[in-house]
Amino acid sequence: MGSLDICEAVLEIFARFKRTNPDILYLCDPVMGNNRCFVKPEITSFFKNNSQADIITPNQFEAEFLSGIKINNVSDAIKVAKHFHNLGVKIVIITGINFQDEKYFQVFASNATKKYLVQSHNKEKTLILQVQEIYLLVFFWVFI
């Protein structure tokens, strides 16, 4: 989302859908950066102050930025997930985690009762498509 107007329009549209279908889910991937922020400050402020998503899928950098908590280990990932859960987010999936061994792709997933860390095979031999498959597997296997 390149501007604050677009961010606000998305929330407005979601609110309309939610009134029509209260069971609809809102998944937010707060694309803001990877190792550094590449969006305008008003976009980062928007994501920090508008946590209406049912599901959030930040990468490690975005999760740390939005929560203010550095992720160095599983305990930290749990703290970050709890931060988002306290804001009303039902499911948190943090992608691209590198705290155990940078040779592996890792995804952390959490809901109110379950927490999972999923690790891929060797990163150097894993195709990006396989990473996406891991991500989808975690989501559907754990939470649906």
Q: What is the pLDDT of residue 12?
A: 93
Mean pLDDT over 20-33 rounds to: 89
Question: Does the domain at residues 4-143 carry the CATH identifier 3.30.200.20?
Answer: no
pLDDT tens digits for range 123-137: 555 555 455 556 666
Q: CA 24 to CA 103: how far, in whole Å?
A: 37
Kindly tell me if the per-residue pLDDT of 102 is higher than 70. Answer: no
Kindly tell me if the per-residue pLDDT of 91 is higher than 60. Answer: yes
What residue type is assigned to position 82 of the chain?
Answer: K
Which strands sit side by side in the sheet containing 115-122, from one edge to the other? 27-28, 55-56, 91-94, 104-110, 115-122
- Tell me whether strands 104-110 and 115-122 are parallel, antiparallel or unpaired: antiparallel
The residues near 19 (Cβ < 8 Å, ≥ 6 apart) are: none
Instruction: Provide φ and ψ at 106, rounded to 5°.
Output: -130, 145
- CA proximity to 137, closest of 83, 95, 85: 95
pLDDT tens digits for range 43-87: 888 888 887 899 999 999 999 999 999 999 999 999 999 999 999
Q: Higher model confidence: residue 110 or residue 49? A: 110
Q: Using 50, 70 and 90 to split pLDDT, how confident is the model at 21? A: very high
Q: What is the pLDDT of residue 133?
A: 57
Q: Residue 72 forms beta bridges with which residues?
A: none
Q: CA 61 to CA 85: how far, in whole Å?
A: 18
Predicted model pTM: 0.83
Mean pLDDT over 102-129 rounds to: 73
